[in-house]
């Protein structure tokens, strides 16, 4: 999938409380607190058992594509193709020492797509995925999270899912990984860890450069 990038990334233009996601791609996010742990939920009604605490956020713009995504799969390894589409508004967690930092140059990002079902039944929540991302990427990880629907090719019934978009920036606004190869390697390890911990057959990572698709990672069983 190829997509056009959203607005140029700018962080910390102003502080305000809002849940809106403007059409120009300027996402208002809030810092998140708490540790969700890894206890699976017991029913579909408990998929999101707790509301996250909200704190005052900042207006932010990211050159990332959060729209629908499709992958071809790998028939030789028994990995099916499929598609993913977003639901609701994205949430942003930005970790910058200076909230008025402007990120310049190419921004590498990776959106990791994870199903929340195991054997056709609800088993995990978005918080479980975010917790694994923070553990694997570090507590200073900057990312965007959003609910969605995952559909395997040939299946009519989608399952609840989540995307977590990792931004390749540290707290000073500099690139964590200097090359695309290094970044992809780190993302691949994290995607495979999430797959194993959440008992998934497949986890997808869409690699982007300034919002343009530049690679796909299939972390499969």
Q: For residue 182, with 0-12 CB atoms within 10 Å meaning exposed, 13-18 middle and 19 or more buried, which class applies? A: middle
Rounded distance, CA 111 to CA 204, Å? 8
In a domain, 45, yes or no: no
pLDDT tens digits along 105-143: 889 999 999 999 999 899 999 999 999 999 999 878 999
Question: Quick check: 191 pLDDT over 60?
Answer: yes
In a domain, 79, yes or no: yes
Q: What is the mean pLDDT of the chain?
A: 77
Q: Is the pTM of this model over 0.85?
A: no
Chain length of the chain = 221
In a domain, 2, yes or no: no
Rounded distance, CA 177 to CA 161, Å? 27
In a domain, 11, yes or no: no
Confidence of residue 39 (pLDDT cuts 50, 70, 90): very low
In a domain, 5, yes or no: no
In a domain, 60, yes or no: no
In a domain, 7, yes or no: no
Region 194-220 average pLDDT: 96
> Is residue 53 within 8 Å of 36, Cβ to Cβ?
no
Q: What's the confidence (pLDDT) of residue 60?
A: 58
Token pair, residue 117, equals 């079902």
| Total domains present in the chain | 1
Token pair, residue 221, equals 């069983």
Question: Quick check: 160 pLDDT over 60?
Answer: yes
More confident residue, 214 or 23: 214
Domain, as residue range, for 125: 65-220
pLDDT tens digits along 62-86: 799 999 999 998 878 888 899 999 9
Q: What's the confidence (pLDDT) of residue 59?
A: 55
In a domain, 213, yes or no: yes
Our measurement of the distance from residue 93's CA atom to the centroid of its chain's CA atoms, rounded to an integer in Å, reads 11
Rounded distance, CA 189 to CA 137, Å? 10
Q: What's the confidence (pLDDT) of residue 115?
A: 96
Confidence of residue 3 (pLDDT cuts 50, 70, 90): very low
Question: Quick check: 7 pLDDT over 60?
Answer: no
Question: Quick check: 198 pLDDT over 90?
Answer: yes
């Amino acid at each position: 999938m190829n997509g056009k990038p959203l607005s140029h990334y700018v962080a910390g233009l102003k502080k305000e409380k809002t849940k809106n996601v403007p059409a120009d791609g300027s996402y208002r996010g809030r810092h998140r607190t708490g540790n969700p742990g890894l206890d699976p939920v017991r029913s579909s009604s408990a998929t999101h058992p707790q509301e996250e605490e909200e704190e005052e956020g900042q207006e932010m713009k990211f050159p990332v594509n959060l729209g629908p995504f499709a992958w071809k799969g790998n028939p030789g390894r028994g990995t099916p193709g499929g598609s993913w589409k977003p639901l609701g508004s994205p949430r942003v967690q930005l970790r910058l020492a200076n909230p008025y930092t402007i990120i310049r140059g190419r921004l590498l990002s990776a959106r990791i797509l994870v199903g929340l079902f195991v054997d056709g039944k609800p088993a995990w929540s978005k918080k479980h995925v975010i917790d694994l991302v923070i553990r694997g990427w570090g507590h200073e990880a900057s990312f965007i999270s959003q609910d969605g629907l995952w559909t395997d090719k040939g299946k009519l019934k989608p399952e609840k899912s989540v995307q977590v978009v990792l931004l390749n920036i540290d707290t000073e606004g500099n690139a964590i990984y200097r090359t695309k190869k290094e970044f992809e390697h780190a993302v691949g390890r994290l995607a495979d860890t999430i797959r194993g911990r959440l008992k998934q057959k497949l986890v997808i990572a869409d690699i982007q450069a300034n919002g343009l698709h530049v690679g796909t990672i299939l972390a499969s069983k």
